[in-house]
Amino acid sequence: MDARSIIQSVRDGKSLSADQAQWFACGLADGSVSDAQAGAFAMAVLLKGIGTEGRVALTQAMRNSGEVLRWDMPGPVIDKHSTGGVGDSVSLLLAPALAACGCYVPMISGRGLGHTGGTLDKMEAIPGYDATPGIGALRKVVGEVGCAIVGATGEIAPADKRLYGIRDISGTVESIDLITASILSKKLAAGLEGLILDVKVGSGAFMARPEDAKALAQSLVATANGAGCKTSALITDMDQPLGHSAGNALEVIEVMETLTGTGVNEALWDVTAALGGEALVLAGLAKDAVEGTARIDEVLSNGRAVEVFGKMVAALGGPSDFVERFPDRLPSAPVIRAVEAPRAGFVSRIDTRAVGEAVVHLGGGRLVGTDKINPSVGLWEIVALGEDMAAGEPLVTIHAANDRDADAAEAALLAAIELSDEAPEEPPLIHERIGPEDVQ
């Protein structure tokens, strides 16, 4: 077996066998497959597809290219993955909520990608928090606290790390087969018993069209279940930011206000509870999603989730008094400016991708991989679709490092938020559920 024959087989529409996938993933991990061959393979997969069996084979092979975690816990090992959004801090709420319900959550997360925020970047806004502590620390914190939000180490799915970079430079990022294998190889390497997926759709999502989001959700659910991990997906809305904030420290503040009950964002809460309810069903801790959602509501309300969050932060190097002192512990920006509505009217459209890009250009994301994140910058109190605005009322408040950046963000946001004389039809928070029974 060699790279050329595997590439030719996929190119000719013959899918990908388990043996071929294993050989190619090993070659990606150890460098025996060249960049040119990896790019040719990715293009063949993009153009011809590899079907459900091929996706399962590639996912399992990339998972097995590095360390696969094994757990011996008294409760189910569960995680969540989002395809990426703006103002989406669900992971920070859901991990401790699931732990408070009896799950163990090794949440291996990523950094910001394009216009979307990254869970690790948000956690690193907390002073001292170690988001890449290594597998030993991950095991210890999950065992003692119940959850840990951390980044993948080099030992987790190295084949995916190599192919991910090749996809970016070879014009093959949008292949659903490759997206599926990339997401799931890392998640399944964490040794999960169940996985809930949050697949975003709308102007701020990578999959802006409903049909594309549904195709991705079906691919992910079918492949994960085919690989032996109980998985369901919710397709959730990203035609507007989910939270009222976008930007790392500001999103952590919103999360803490929600966890402590001092400023609850209902949309953020409801999506968290819905995803958590599905996860508890997968974990065998709730008979149905209604019961599961009620349990998540309870631990968010009664303080058990925030207690777990505080323990996790302290265990990973953050302040031991973070829950009590979070406003003092997080960095703040020197320039704070309201963007005023230019006219009266209803908020009729939000270009959510443009909102996310505004945060990136403020310094809250990366334009190139070597950029250093400024955790203090971002947007606060972003308006929601359907809000009735008076002229001069704030549409959003910018937190910037300097006036020049604030000027650029203000211009971008005025172009991204549209007002009209009639209230729009507001999109549902949750568009659709895709379960194992929907992909058989």
Non-local CB neighbours of 159 within 8 Å, separated by 6+ positions:
25, 26, 28, 29, 61, 62, 65, 66, 185
186 in active site: yes
119 in active site: yes
Q: Among residues 59, 89, 182, 352, which one is catalytic?
A: 182
The order of strands in the sheet holding 78-82 is 78-82, 194-201, 230-237, 430-434
Residue position matching structure tokens 């949750």: 430
Q: Among residues 81, 122, 329, 431, which one is catalytic?
A: 81
168 in active site: no
Q: Among residues 65, 119, 172, 245, which one is catalytic?
A: 119
What size, in residues, is the chain? 440
293 in active site: no
Q: Among residues 15, 82, 203, 272, which one is catalytic?
A: 82
187 in active site: yes
CB 216 within 8 A of CB 240: no
CB 257 within 8 A of CB 222: no
Q: Among residues 186, 244, 353, 399, which one is catalytic?
A: 186
2 in active site: no
CA distance linking residue 147 with residue 149, whole number of Å:
7
Q: Among residues 48, 55, 63, 80, which one is catalytic?
A: 80
Q: Please count the other Cβ atoms lying within 10 Å of the Cβ belonging to residue 1.
A: 12
Q: Among residues 115, 162, 187, 353, which one is catalytic?
A: 187
What is residue 438's DSSP assignment? G
Q: Is 61 exposed, middle or buried (0-12, 13-18, 19+ CB in 10 A)?
A: buried
Q: Among residues 167, 214, 311, 329, which one is catalytic?
A: 167
Q: Among residues 55, 65, 79, 232, which one is catalytic?
A: 79
CA nearest neighbour of 158 among 67, 57, 24, 261: 67
CA distance linking residue 420 with residue 16, whole number of Å:
52
CA distance linking residue 258 with residue 272, whole number of Å:
11
79 in active site: yes
What is the helix, strand, coil percentage profile of the chain, to 5?
Answer: 50, 15, 35
80 in active site: yes
122 in active site: no
Would you name the residues annotated as active-site residues? 79-82, 119, 167, 182, 186-187
